Structure 1
Amino acid sequence: MPRHAASSAIAMLAAIVLTGPAAAETASQDVIFAEDGSVAAPLSDRPGDAAEGARIYSDKGSGNCVACHVISTRTDAEFQGTIGPALDGAGDRWTEAQLRGIVADAKRTFPDSMMPSLYKTSGYIRPGDGFSGKAGTEPLPTLLSAQQIEDVVAYLVTLKE
Protein backbone atom coordinates (compact mmCIF):
# COMPACT_ATOMS: atom_id res chain seq x y z
CA MET A 1 0.00 0.00 0.00
CA PRO A 2 1.47 3.38 -0.95
CA ARG A 3 2.37 5.65 1.94
CA HIS A 4 -0.28 8.30 1.13
CA ALA A 5 -3.01 5.65 0.87
CA ALA A 6 -2.02 4.25 4.28
CA SER A 7 -2.10 7.75 5.77
CA SER A 8 -5.56 8.33 4.30
CA ALA A 9 -6.84 5.03 5.64
CA ILE A 10 -5.47 5.78 9.11
CA ALA A 11 -7.03 9.27 9.07
CA MET A 12 -10.40 7.84 8.02
CA LEU A 13 -10.27 5.18 10.75
CA ALA A 14 -9.31 7.80 13.34
CA ALA A 15 -12.27 9.97 12.29
CA ILE A 16 -14.66 7.05 12.73
CA VAL A 17 -13.21 6.13 16.12
CA LEU A 18 -13.20 9.74 17.39
CA THR A 19 -16.65 10.74 16.16
CA GLY A 20 -18.34 7.36 16.33
CA PRO A 21 -20.52 5.88 13.63
CA ALA A 22 -22.96 8.11 11.83
CA ALA A 23 -26.27 8.38 13.62
CA ALA A 24 -29.19 6.48 12.14
CA GLU A 25 -31.94 8.93 11.21
CA THR A 26 -35.62 8.54 10.43
CA ALA A 27 -36.23 9.70 6.87
CA SER A 28 -38.57 12.69 6.69
CA GLN A 29 -41.25 10.70 4.85
CA ASP A 30 -41.17 8.03 7.59
CA VAL A 31 -41.82 10.34 10.55
CA ILE A 32 -44.97 9.30 12.42
CA PHE A 33 -47.03 12.31 13.50
CA ALA A 34 -49.84 11.90 16.02
CA GLU A 35 -53.20 13.54 15.35
CA ASP A 36 -52.13 16.59 17.40
CA GLY A 37 -48.92 16.97 15.36
CA SER A 38 -46.60 15.55 18.02
CA VAL A 39 -43.82 13.07 17.20
CA ALA A 40 -43.16 10.61 20.02
CA ALA A 41 -40.12 8.81 18.58
CA PRO A 42 -36.78 10.60 18.30
CA LEU A 43 -35.68 11.20 14.70
CA SER A 44 -32.10 10.15 15.42
CA ASP A 45 -30.57 7.36 17.48
CA ARG A 46 -28.27 9.92 19.11
CA PRO A 47 -29.70 12.07 21.92
CA GLY A 48 -30.16 15.74 21.21
CA ASP A 49 -27.41 18.13 22.33
CA ALA A 50 -28.95 21.20 24.01
CA ALA A 51 -25.79 23.29 23.51
CA GLU A 52 -25.84 22.56 19.79
CA GLY A 53 -29.56 23.33 19.70
CA ALA A 54 -28.86 26.72 21.29
CA ARG A 55 -26.28 27.36 18.58
CA ILE A 56 -28.71 26.36 15.81
CA TYR A 57 -31.38 28.68 17.29
CA SER A 58 -29.17 31.74 16.79
CA ASP A 59 -27.44 30.64 13.57
CA LYS A 60 -28.96 32.45 10.62
CA GLY A 61 -27.41 29.85 8.29
CA SER A 62 -29.07 26.86 9.97
CA GLY A 63 -32.59 26.92 11.35
CA ASN A 64 -32.69 30.72 11.56
CA CYS A 65 -35.13 30.38 14.47
CA VAL A 66 -33.89 33.75 15.72
CA ALA A 67 -35.47 35.50 12.72
CA CYS A 68 -38.98 34.87 14.07
CA HIS A 69 -38.65 33.91 17.74
CA VAL A 70 -37.25 35.59 20.82
CA ILE A 71 -35.77 34.07 23.96
CA SER A 72 -35.37 36.93 26.43
CA THR A 73 -32.30 35.43 28.13
CA ARG A 74 -30.42 35.12 24.82
CA THR A 75 -28.79 38.54 24.78
CA ASP A 76 -26.06 37.02 22.58
CA ALA A 77 -28.56 36.36 19.76
CA GLU A 78 -28.88 39.55 17.74
CA PHE A 79 -31.99 40.74 15.95
CA GLN A 80 -34.45 38.29 17.47
CA GLY A 81 -37.84 38.31 15.77
CA THR A 82 -41.34 38.66 17.10
CA ILE A 83 -43.33 37.08 14.24
CA GLY A 84 -43.50 33.73 16.03
CA PRO A 85 -44.26 33.15 19.70
CA ALA A 86 -41.59 33.88 22.30
CA LEU A 87 -39.83 30.66 23.23
CA ASP A 88 -39.38 31.60 26.90
CA GLY A 89 -40.93 28.72 28.85
CA ALA A 90 -41.28 26.47 25.77
CA GLY A 91 -40.27 23.47 27.89
CA ASP A 92 -43.21 24.18 30.21
CA ARG A 93 -45.78 24.82 27.46
CA TRP A 94 -45.11 21.80 25.27
CA THR A 95 -43.90 18.25 25.78
CA GLU A 96 -40.78 16.94 24.07
CA ALA A 97 -42.97 15.06 21.54
CA GLN A 98 -44.97 18.21 20.80
CA LEU A 99 -41.81 20.28 20.37
CA ARG A 100 -40.36 17.65 18.02
CA GLY A 101 -43.50 17.80 15.88
CA ILE A 102 -43.59 21.61 15.89
CA VAL A 103 -39.93 21.93 14.90
CA ALA A 104 -40.20 19.22 12.23
CA ASP A 105 -43.45 20.48 10.67
CA ALA A 106 -45.28 23.20 12.61
CA LYS A 107 -48.21 23.24 10.19
CA ARG A 108 -49.40 19.88 11.54
CA THR A 109 -49.98 21.51 14.93
CA PHE A 110 -50.67 25.08 13.81
CA PRO A 111 -52.13 24.93 10.26
CA ASP A 112 -51.95 28.72 9.76
CA SER A 113 -48.35 28.97 11.00
CA MET A 114 -45.82 30.89 8.92
CA MET A 115 -43.06 28.64 10.28
CA PRO A 116 -41.37 26.64 7.54
CA SER A 117 -41.43 22.86 7.66
CA LEU A 118 -37.87 22.12 8.74
CA TYR A 119 -37.99 18.34 8.22
CA LYS A 120 -40.13 17.82 5.17
CA THR A 121 -39.28 17.10 1.53
CA SER A 122 -42.62 16.91 -0.23
CA GLY A 123 -46.18 18.14 -0.16
CA TYR A 124 -45.41 21.80 -0.70
CA ILE A 125 -43.98 24.04 -3.37
CA ARG A 126 -40.52 25.54 -3.05
CA PRO A 127 -39.94 28.57 -5.26
CA GLY A 128 -37.53 28.06 -8.13
CA ASP A 129 -35.22 25.29 -9.20
CA GLY A 130 -32.39 26.78 -7.15
CA PHE A 131 -34.25 25.77 -4.00
CA SER A 132 -35.75 22.54 -5.28
CA GLY A 133 -32.79 20.62 -6.63
CA LYS A 134 -33.21 18.98 -10.00
CA ALA A 135 -36.97 18.82 -10.30
CA GLY A 136 -38.12 15.23 -9.92
CA THR A 137 -34.69 13.62 -10.13
CA GLU A 138 -33.57 13.64 -6.52
CA PRO A 139 -35.20 14.06 -3.13
CA LEU A 140 -35.35 17.61 -1.84
CA PRO A 141 -33.11 18.27 1.16
CA THR A 142 -34.68 19.02 4.51
CA LEU A 143 -33.89 22.42 6.01
CA LEU A 144 -32.53 20.76 9.17
CA SER A 145 -31.24 17.21 9.60
CA ALA A 146 -32.92 14.76 11.97
CA GLN A 147 -30.05 15.25 14.44
CA GLN A 148 -30.40 19.03 14.25
CA ILE A 149 -34.12 18.69 15.01
CA GLU A 150 -33.23 16.59 18.08
CA ASP A 151 -30.63 19.17 19.14
CA VAL A 152 -33.13 22.05 18.89
CA VAL A 153 -35.75 20.03 20.79
CA ALA A 154 -33.17 19.21 23.51
CA TYR A 155 -32.54 22.95 23.85
CA LEU A 156 -36.21 23.96 23.84
CA VAL A 157 -37.14 21.52 26.63
CA THR A 158 -34.62 23.28 28.87
CA LEU A 159 -36.45 26.60 28.51
CA LYS A 160 -38.51 26.74 31.70
CA GLU A 161 -40.22 29.73 33.31
Structure 2
Amino acid sequence: MLAATASLIAALPAAAAEPIKWSGDAIDAPLTAIPGDPARGRSIVTDRQQGLCLLCHSGPFPEEATPGNLATDLSGAGARWSEGQLRARIVDARRIDPASLMPAFYSTADRQRVGSAWRGRPILDAQQVEDVVAFLKTLR
Protein backbone atom coordinates (compact mmCIF):
# COMPACT_ATOMS: atom_id res chain seq x y z
CA MET A 1 0.00 0.00 0.00
CA LEU A 2 2.78 2.44 0.90
CA ALA A 3 4.63 1.66 -2.34
CA ALA A 4 1.44 2.24 -4.36
CA THR A 5 0.88 5.60 -2.67
CA ALA A 6 4.49 6.62 -3.27
CA SER A 7 4.26 5.76 -6.97
CA LEU A 8 0.99 7.70 -7.27
CA ILE A 9 2.56 10.78 -5.71
CA ALA A 10 5.65 10.45 -7.93
CA ALA A 11 3.40 10.38 -11.01
CA LEU A 12 1.70 13.68 -10.09
CA PRO A 13 2.74 16.82 -11.96
CA ALA A 14 5.46 18.91 -10.36
CA ALA A 15 4.60 22.17 -8.69
CA ALA A 16 3.29 24.85 -11.04
CA ALA A 17 5.78 27.44 -12.20
CA GLU A 18 4.45 30.73 -10.89
CA PRO A 19 3.96 33.61 -11.40
CA ILE A 20 1.83 33.64 -14.51
CA LYS A 21 1.18 36.92 -16.32
CA TRP A 22 -2.54 37.64 -16.26
CA SER A 23 -4.14 40.21 -18.54
CA GLY A 24 -7.63 40.86 -17.16
CA ASP A 25 -9.53 37.58 -17.53
CA ALA A 26 -6.90 35.98 -19.76
CA ILE A 27 -3.45 34.45 -19.77
CA ASP A 28 -2.28 35.30 -23.26
CA ALA A 29 1.14 33.63 -23.23
CA PRO A 30 1.26 29.84 -23.53
CA LEU A 31 2.64 28.01 -20.50
CA THR A 32 4.99 25.95 -22.70
CA ALA A 33 7.06 26.39 -25.84
CA ILE A 34 5.45 23.26 -27.32
CA PRO A 35 2.04 23.93 -28.90
CA GLY A 36 -0.91 22.09 -27.40
CA ASP A 37 -2.18 18.92 -29.07
CA PRO A 38 -5.98 18.87 -29.52
CA ALA A 39 -6.16 15.05 -29.53
CA ARG A 40 -4.30 14.82 -26.21
CA GLY A 41 -6.48 17.65 -24.89
CA ARG A 42 -9.66 15.81 -25.82
CA SER A 43 -8.46 12.70 -24.02
CA ILE A 44 -7.76 14.76 -20.87
CA VAL A 45 -11.19 16.42 -21.02
CA THR A 46 -13.04 13.10 -21.43
CA ASP A 47 -10.93 11.14 -18.93
CA ARG A 48 -12.81 10.79 -15.64
CA GLN A 49 -9.57 9.98 -13.81
CA GLN A 50 -7.43 12.83 -15.09
CA GLY A 51 -9.22 15.99 -16.21
CA LEU A 52 -12.57 15.17 -14.64
CA CYS A 53 -14.12 17.88 -16.85
CA LEU A 54 -17.22 15.86 -17.71
CA LEU A 55 -18.19 15.49 -14.07
CA CYS A 56 -19.50 19.07 -14.34
CA HIS A 57 -19.50 19.94 -18.06
CA SER A 58 -21.41 18.52 -21.02
CA GLY A 59 -20.46 18.97 -24.65
CA PRO A 60 -20.02 17.29 -28.01
CA PHE A 61 -18.99 13.93 -26.58
CA PRO A 62 -21.33 11.28 -28.02
CA GLU A 63 -19.50 8.49 -26.18
CA GLU A 64 -20.22 10.13 -22.81
CA ALA A 65 -23.43 8.68 -21.38
CA THR A 66 -23.60 10.83 -18.25
CA PRO A 67 -22.07 14.29 -18.72
CA GLY A 68 -22.32 16.84 -15.95
CA ASN A 69 -24.83 19.65 -15.79
CA LEU A 70 -23.31 21.89 -13.10
CA ALA A 71 -21.22 24.01 -15.47
CA THR A 72 -21.20 25.50 -18.95
CA ASP A 73 -21.69 23.21 -21.95
CA LEU A 74 -18.31 23.03 -23.69
CA SER A 75 -19.92 23.09 -27.15
CA GLY A 76 -18.76 26.31 -28.79
CA ALA A 77 -16.15 27.08 -26.11
CA GLY A 78 -13.62 28.02 -28.80
CA ALA A 79 -16.05 30.58 -30.22
CA ARG A 80 -17.10 32.04 -26.84
CA TRP A 81 -13.65 32.57 -25.33
CA SER A 82 -10.23 33.51 -26.68
CA GLU A 83 -7.26 31.18 -26.27
CA GLY A 84 -6.03 33.31 -23.36
CA GLN A 85 -9.44 33.26 -21.68
CA LEU A 86 -9.64 29.47 -22.02
CA ARG A 87 -6.14 29.12 -20.55
CA ALA A 88 -7.04 31.36 -17.61
CA ARG A 89 -10.17 29.38 -16.81
CA ILE A 90 -8.18 26.16 -16.71
CA VAL A 91 -5.30 27.61 -14.72
CA ASP A 92 -7.56 29.11 -12.04
CA ALA A 93 -11.22 29.93 -12.79
CA ARG A 94 -11.72 31.31 -9.28
CA ARG A 95 -9.41 34.20 -10.08
CA ILE A 96 -12.03 35.30 -12.62
CA ASP A 97 -15.09 34.28 -10.59
CA PRO A 98 -14.44 33.61 -6.90
CA ALA A 99 -17.74 31.69 -6.69
CA SER A 100 -16.73 29.26 -9.45
CA LEU A 101 -17.06 25.56 -8.70
CA MET A 102 -14.21 24.80 -11.09
CA PRO A 103 -10.95 23.89 -9.37
CA ALA A 104 -7.65 25.50 -10.25
CA PHE A 105 -6.08 22.92 -12.54
CA TYR A 106 -2.64 24.56 -12.68
CA SER A 107 -2.38 27.23 -10.00
CA THR A 108 -1.62 26.06 -6.49
CA ALA A 109 -2.16 29.45 -4.83
CA ASP A 110 -4.78 29.77 -2.10
CA ARG A 111 -5.92 26.16 -2.27
CA GLN A 112 -7.73 24.88 0.78
CA ARG A 113 -8.83 21.42 1.82
CA VAL A 114 -6.41 19.70 -0.55
CA GLY A 115 -5.34 16.10 -0.04
CA SER A 116 -1.74 15.68 1.05
CA ALA A 117 -0.76 14.10 -2.29
CA TRP A 118 -1.88 17.25 -4.09
CA ARG A 119 -0.44 19.93 -1.77
CA GLY A 120 1.82 22.22 -3.79
CA ARG A 121 1.14 20.28 -7.00
CA PRO A 122 -1.13 21.22 -9.90
CA ILE A 123 -3.81 18.86 -11.15
CA LEU A 124 -2.55 19.29 -14.73
CA ASP A 125 0.98 20.17 -15.79
CA ALA A 126 1.70 23.06 -18.16
CA GLN A 127 1.70 20.90 -21.29
CA GLN A 128 -1.59 19.28 -20.34
CA VAL A 129 -3.13 22.74 -19.87
CA GLU A 130 -1.94 23.72 -23.35
CA ASP A 131 -3.33 20.46 -24.78
CA VAL A 132 -6.76 21.15 -23.23
CA VAL A 133 -6.69 24.74 -24.53
CA ALA A 134 -5.83 23.46 -28.03
CA PHE A 135 -8.78 21.06 -27.90
CA LEU A 136 -11.27 23.60 -26.55
CA LYS A 137 -10.26 26.02 -29.34
CA THR A 138 -11.55 23.43 -31.84
CA LEU A 139 -15.04 23.51 -30.30
CA ARG A 140 -16.66 26.19 -32.44
Report the Cα distance in structure 2 between the residues aligned to 1:130 and 1:42, rounded to whole angstroms. 27
Tell me which residue corresponds to 2:78: 91
* 1:120-146 superposed Cα distances (whole Å, 9 cap, x missing partner): 1221213453543xxxxxxx1100000
Q: Give TM-score, length-normalised by structure 1.
A: 0.73
Tell me which residue corresponds to 1:35: 24
Tell me which residue corresponds to 2:136: 156
Report the Cα distance in structure 2 between the residues aligned to 1:148 and 1:130, rounded to whole angstroms. 19
Aligned counterpart in structure 1 of residue 58 of structure 2, from 59, 70, 78: 70
RMSD (Å) for aligned C-alpha atoms: 1.9
Tell me which residue corresponds to 2:41: 53
Q: Give TM-score, length-normalised by structure 2.
A: 0.83
| Aligned partners of 1:58 and 1:66 also within 8 Å | yes
Equivalent pairs, count: 127
Partner of 1:29: helix, strand, or coil?
Answer: coil
Structure 1 stretches of at least 4 aligned residues deviating more than 4 Å after TM superposition = none
* 1:41-93 superposed Cα distances (whole Å, 9 cap, x missing partner): 0001100000011000010111110100001x211123210101101100110
| Aligned partners of 1:28 and 1:121 also within 8 Å | no
Could you tell me which runs of 5 or more consecutive residues in structure 1 were left unpaired when the two chains were aligned.
1-26, 133-139
Report the Cα distance in structure 2 between the residues aligned to 1:46 and 1:63, rounded to whole angstroms. 20
State the 1:108 CA deviation. 1.7
Larger radius of gyration: 1
Question: Identity, % of aligned pairs?
Answer: 40
